[in-house]
């Protein structure tokens, strides 16, 4: 997998979990403050779309995850 795919997977997972923990109708409800984490992830995705800068992407690149399939082919 590539950096961008990992970012999408992590963002989707974090949003789903924080909604489960933050939505009052959820059987796993803990507190509404988990919705703030959902907003944080959404805003981070928004700024990533405009600036192409993401802290998770930096970490993944340091761990050796390729940027694209073309980068791994050479």
pTM for the structure as a whole: 0.81
* Residue 61 within a domain: yes
Domain that holds residue 7: 3-68
Q: What is the DSSP string of 4-62?
A: HHHHHHHHHHHHHHHHHHH-TTSTT---TTHHHHHHHHHHHHHHHHHH---HHHHHHHH
CA distance 40 to 36: 6
pLDDT at residue 70 greater than cutoff 70: no
Q: For residue 55, is it within any domain?
A: yes
Q: Could you give the CA distance from residue 50 to residue 31 in angstroms, rounded to a whole number?
A: 31
Residue 73 lies in a domain: no
State pLDDT tens for residues 6-64.
999 999 999 999 999 999 999 999 999 999 999 999 999 999 999 989 999 999 999 99
Tell me how many domains the chain contains.
1
Q: Is residue 74 part of a domain?
A: no
């Amino acid at each position: 997998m590539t950096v961008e795919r990992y970012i999408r997977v992590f963002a989707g997972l974090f949003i789903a979990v924080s909604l489960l923990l933050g939505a009052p109708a959820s059987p796993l409800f803990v507190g509404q403050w988990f919705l703030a984490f959902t907003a944080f992830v959404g805003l981070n995705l928004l700024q990533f779309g405009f600036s192409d800068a993401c802290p998770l992407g930096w970490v993944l690149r340091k761990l050796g995850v390729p940027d694209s399939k073309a980068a791994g082919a050479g």
